[in-house]
Amino acid sequence: MKLTPNWKTTLTSAWSVRLLILAAVISVLPVFVSLVSPDLLGLDPLVFAGIAALVNLIAIPARILVQPTSGLWSAFRRDESGAVRKRTIGVLAGGSVALASAISFIGQWEGLRTEAYRDVIGVWTVCYGETKGVRPGDSYSKAECDAMLAREIIAYEAALDRCLTADVPIGMKVALVSWTYNIGPAAACRSTLLRKANAGDLTGACNELPRWNRAGGRVIRGLTNRRMSERAMCLKALKA
């Protein structure tokens, strides 16, 4: 009698094996509990036997059906650097949660102004730093500004993703989207920051953020504070 060539894969990946193990655990559970204290059992041992039998029956089709393997799960188990784990967590925590985090973070730095105004370098701006198509006299409600910011964040993230090839944790992504929203995708994609990130130097990329604190050729205190906050979020995400 010989082991099958893929016995290791079968033991670790086959659902039939997992179900058989579960059935065995269910079968011995009432015996173990009764040894500790019969009063803890609470159910007739026949109930456990029935559940174990059902699990065994389910294991039969699980054994003969094709079971596709998950490349992401395999990579997750093999990963030693933590990159796959961070990417997986980012995907699971993404969507509305990530968008809400980005809206909150970017909104606090952009500030909300529902009437059109000139920014520090004279560009007409409204809501949360929106400049596209803004004219003097434009006015929006807060709800309209919130919706506008959400749309812009999604658009800026998509633009950033076209040149950001590295997998980054979600906190770093929020920081980089905030930065991109502020300086524009073209400048972001040409930056040393993106080159470092794509080369795998994520810490170096985070440390590039404070350099982007100028507008109109001069250092702006508000931009300095914003870049430091983005850098802090960026580095914190790498330590998570």
- Residues annotated as catalytic are 110, 119
In angstroms, what CA-CA distances link 100 with 106, 138, 161? 10, 26, 19
Q: Which residue has the tokens 């109109």?
A: 216
Return d(Cα 204, Cα 195) in angstroms, integer: 10
Phi and psi angles of residue 151, each rounded to the nearest 5 degrees, phi first? -65, -40
- Dihedral of the alpha carbons of 123, 127, 133, 137, in degrees to the nearest 10: -80
Cβ burial of 55 (10 Å; 0-12, 13-18, 19+) is: buried
As given in the structure block, the two tokens for residue 184 are: 């524009």
